[in-house]
Amino acid sequence: MARDLAATAARGSAIMLTGQGMRIALQFVGVVALARLLTPHDYGLIAIVVVLIGVGEIFRDFGLSSAAVRAPELSRAQSANLFWINSAIGVVLAGLLCLGARPLASFLGQPEVVGIACAMSLILVLNGITTQYRALVVRALRFRRLAGVDVAASALALAIALLGALAGWGYWALVAQQIMQALIVLVGVVVAVGRPPGLPRRGVPMGSFLRFGGNLVLSQVITYATGNVDTAVVGAVHGASPLGLYNRAYQVVVTPLAQIQSPITQVAVPILSKIQEDRPRFSAYLVRGQFALGYPISLGLAVVVVGAEPLTGLLLGEQWMAAVPLLQLFALAGIARNLAFVGYWVYVVRGLSGSLFRYSLVTGGIKVLCIVIGAHWGVVGVAAGFAIAPWIAWPISLAWLNRVTDVPVRSLYAGALRIIVVAGVSAGVSGAALATLPALPDLLEILSCAAIALLTAAALSLLPPLRRDARALWETVGLLRRHRARTTVKTSDRETLDA
Task: Give alpha helix (H) positions in 341-408.
Answer: 342-349, 353-374, 378-404
Structural domain spans, the chain: 2-484
- pLDDT at position 16, please? 55
- Residue 203 confidence class, pLDDT cut points 50, 70, 90: confident
Span 456-471, mean pLDDT? 87
- pLDDT at position 460, please? 92
- pLDDT at position 478, please? 57
Mean pLDDT is lowest, of 19-28, 34-43, 83-92, 417-426, for 19-28
Instruction: Give CA–CA dist 397/153, Å, rounded.
Output: 35
- pLDDT at position 1, please? 47
Q: Which residues contact 1 (CB under 8 A, 6 or more apart)?
A: none
- pLDDT at position 394, please? 86
For residue 27, what are the CA distances in angstroms to 30, 54, 161, 461?
5, 18, 12, 32
For residue 199, what are the CA distances in angstroms to 77, 78, 85, 89?
8, 11, 11, 16
Span 51-55, mean pLDDT? 79
Mean pLDDT is lowest, of 5-9, 49-53, 368-372, for 5-9
- Locate the DSSP E strands across 175-225: none
Please state whether the predicted TM-score (pTM) of the whole model is above 0.75: no
- pLDDT at position 487, please? 37
168: left (phi over 0), alpha (psi -120 to 50) or beta: left
- Residue 274 confidence class, pLDDT cut points 50, 70, 90: confident
Q: For residues 117 and 101, is the Cβ–Cβ distance under 8 A?
A: yes
**Could you give the percent of the chain with pLDDT greater than 70?**
85
- Residue 20 confidence class, pLDDT cut points 50, 70, 90: low
pLDDT in tens, 396-453: 888 888 888 888 888 888 888 999 999 999 999 999 998 888 888 888 999 999 999 9
Instruction: Kindly report the length of the chain.
Output: 499
Greater model confidence, 219 or 166: 166
User: Does residue 320 carry a pLDDT above 90?
Assistant: no
User: Does residue 145 carry a pLDDT above 50?
Assistant: yes
- pLDDT at position 289, please? 80
Q: For residues 295 and 473, is the Cβ–Cβ distance under 8 A?
A: yes
